[in-house]
Structures are given as structure tokens and as C-alpha cells.
Structure 1
């Protein structure tokens, strides 16, 4: 069930143009300096979850169990530890888990589409820029709801396919089709892109997330474009514009 009411929350006040420019400017380092890129996203993610947890549950992250679905090599671990959370990343790819040479205590190998976590186990279930990398992201979203305790928080954030970053390193050629963009990348660089369309990158639309929000059993608190300032959040309500201009959609829900 969705209420889709905008949250005039702590995070809404944090969502300034300055923040947007800082985060968008970091994207150019995603491939060349991933620690720098993900470090900024990690800090912003901890702020996002802290703000919504305070607004919705009245508690910050101290002592909370946070499950990060698709946590990769653990770039987010330090930020959540600083916030006092018990941070547990779940990642299906063992090479990705060790890609940065990091070691995260309690890291779990498993698929987001079948989380190896019992029902009602975590306080907060979070996923950042992962849904576009799996073939059935809405099965993953329902798994996130399943493992979250009653009263807990679910935050799903993903890259919109027709947005400026939808093709990841193959963009902006993804506007001409994902397969075309992948072939062009291979011709130019002599190797397959890390995010291969149809295998590790899929076309997930903003409308898909809105449809899931309208049908899930969780109570949806707000939906907004993650990297936009608060005054541009209205874009989510406009069908064509949201597909082209909303680079990342966030759905915040409670169970």
C-alpha cells in the first residue's frame, strides 16, 4: 500500500543544490577512483537512513541492525559503524566482495532475490544502486520487506534506465539501446563493460518502482529522486520527465 506523501523530513532539508552538485560531480570517479566515489555515496546513505529513521521511528542508527542488499566490497561499512549501526552487507559475487581488499565482519554471501536472512530480522533494510543489476528487482524488494521487522524501515534506491546514468559506463549510448551501447563499448575499449546489458545491467524504469510501491504490503512513506534538490522532487510525479530526468529513484517504506 502506498501513501506517496512527500516527507518534509530532515533529509528533505538536507537535499540542497550544493549536495546535488557534490554527489553528481563524484560520478566521474566511479571507475577510476571507486573509493572516492563510494565514500561520498556511503556518507550520504548514512545521512539518508539516519534522517528517515529519526523522522519515522524516532530513533537514530545507534544499535540498529542495517542490512545492505548488494553491499559489494564494503565501502559503506565505516560510515554505518560511525553512526553506531550493526552493518551487514549481502553480496552474491565473491569477487565483488573482495574487489577493494576490504574485510567486513558479518558480511553474507547471498542473492538479493533470496536473502539468506530469516523473517523480521533487521531494523533497516537498504539497497543502493543494485536493483538495476538484477533480473527481478521487485522480487528483491519483497525480500527486503520480508526480512525487516514490523515497524522497521525499507529504503530502496536505484538507477533509472532512461536517466543520464542509466547506462553506467556505456552511457549515453544506452539511449540507442543497451545492446548497442555494450557493443560500442567493446569496440572502443577492447573489452566487455563491467555492467553488461542483459547480464549484469537491466532496464529498470521509474514507473516500475512506482508500480511496486502501489502494490507492496509495506506502507510507502515517500518516493523522491535521490540526487535532486528538494525543490525538484516534483519530477517524480510527471510520467515522461521522471524517466528522463530522475537519475535515481528512492522508495522509503515501513513494515
Structure 2
């Protein structure tokens, strides 16, 4: 069984349209948007685990790097996983259901210096965080370090040249990230939350694939929000930068590897 065989059956056009329709609620109703995304992500991660191991990940420990306000905690708990969220920003940690300490374990820490021993967790997830990190592949290397041999690393990020690369600045990022941020500030009277050069960076699909292939641990890569019949775009240079939108890298820590992995 290929790692994506189980998940591919759910990656339909109907799912893509449903998720796309939820994006319009990100700013005005984050609980609705992130709740839907969390449920979809929990199913994806569980299916990827089944694709590798043939069993459900119930009882496994999952670390969510950059877990934000904790909307993912309930979704992963419902799937039977032991959820640990990692978030460096205290404002983010207290902006949503992460404050319900009975629902999950939460740690304030950086994704580029995870407070876990080598090979200590079963699954390490990072959902839409790498584009907000100045050194995203150091984050990736840390995720691999803390994952047990045979475990899974699932790193998903927004591709800069895709339509959502500028986040709330819209398609203006095609004229340059700094210019898009300046236009947003003039229009709204404040800087965007995801400000280019400080909390938003230009990360390409090629960057992620190059790093993942260099680790020797890459299992597969695919566009997160596309139907299965659109996954071929990941294999086409240049085209993937504009059409993949969000890239998922799935890696496993091979048995017998040490604690050091390339960071870029």
C-alpha cells in the first residue's frame, strides 16, 4: 500500500470546494474556518498513518508545531491521538480553545528548538507554519529529530507564488511582498498580521522538495487542497509554484538514523 492510497480516496473535488468555501470565514469566524480545517487535517494525518502502517493511529502521540490557539486539539483527540501543541506566541495560545487545558497539553516553545528528546513522538505535524518561519528547514529538521523511527512527519505550508501566498494581502503579493504589505497598511490603517519579511516569507515548492529529498526521509509530496487528479502538478517545475498553492511533505524517520538532519 502506498502512503497516500487511503487519503487519495477522500481527496475529491467536492472536498476541495468545501474547504475553499470555508476560507472566506478565516477572518470573521476563525472557529468555523479552523474547526473545519482541523477536522480535515486529522483525517488526512490518520489516513497517511494507515497508508504506512495499515492501522489507525489511536493512542499515538502527535506534536503539532505552531498549533496556534488550539483548534486542532479537539479534532486529534476525537481521532484517539494524544495531542501536544507547541506555540511560541502567548497571544496565539490564548486566542482560542487552547486555553481549555483539559483538552490538550500545550507548550510555549519554538518550532526550531523543540523541547522533546530525540525519537520521542510518533507523529510530528506542522500545518501552514513554515512560511512564517525565517528558517523553515531548521524547523523541518527538528521535526524529524523528535520523531521515532517509523513515525511520520507531516509538514504543510503555503507556497509563495500560489494564489494564497500573500495571505490577507490577496494577490498583491505578485507585485512584491513589501509592496503588498505597504498597500494593506495604507488601506486598513494597520500592518497585516502576516507581514512580509517579519512574519511571512517567500517559500517555494522547490525549496521544500529540495530539503525533503536531501533528508533521505521523503515518502511523498502532494497539494493539500487539490483533488487527487490534480496531484501531478507537484512534479512539474515552475507550474507547481503557481498552482500547487499548499504543499504537503510527508517524511518518515528511517530506522537507525542519528539525531542530525539537514536544515537546508
Q: TM-score, normalised by structure 1?
A: 0.95
Using the TM superposition, give the Cα deviation of residue 101 of structure 1 relative to its aligned residue in structure 2, in angstroms. Answer: 5.1
Using the TM superposition, give the Cα deviation of residue 7 of structure 1 relative to its aligned residue in structure 2, in angstroms. Answer: 4.5
Aligned residue-pair number: 250
2:22 and 2:36 in contact (8 A); partners too: yes
Using the TM superposition, give the Cα deviation of residue 99 of structure 1 relative to its aligned residue in structure 2, in angstroms. Answer: 1.0
Instruction: Please give the residue correspondences for 1:1-255 in structure 2 after superposition, counting only pairs within 5 Å.
Output: 7-100=3-96, 102-103=98-99, 104=101, 105-218=104-217, 220-255=218-253
Q: Which has the higher contact order (CA 8 A, sep 6+)?
A: 1
Using the TM superposition, give the Cα deviation of residue 106 of structure 1 relative to its aligned residue in structure 2, in angstroms. Answer: 1.7
1 CA distance for matches of 2:72 and 2:57?
Answer: 14
2 CA distance for matches of 1:60 and 1:47?
Answer: 10
Partner SS for 1:76: helix
1 CA distance for matches of 2:237 and 2:62?
Answer: 32
Q: TM-score, normalised by structure 2?
A: 0.92
Corresponding residue of 2:256: none
Q: Summarize deviations over 1:178-204 as a string: whole Å, max 9, x none.
A: 000000000000001010100100000
Name stretches of at least 5 consecutive residues in structure 2 with no aligned partner. Answer: 254-264
Q: 1:56 to 1:176 in 2, by over 3 A?
A: same
2:4 and 2:47 in contact (8 A); partners too: no
Partner SS for 1:151: strand
* Aligned-pair Cα RMSD in Å: 1.3
Partner SS for 2:165: coil
Using the TM superposition, give the Cα deviation of residue 244 of structure 1 relative to its aligned residue in structure 2, in angstroms. Answer: 0.4
2 CA distance for matches of 1:217 and 1:110?
Answer: 27
Partner SS for 2:45: helix
Runs in 1 of length 4+ with deviation above 4 angstroms? Answer: none
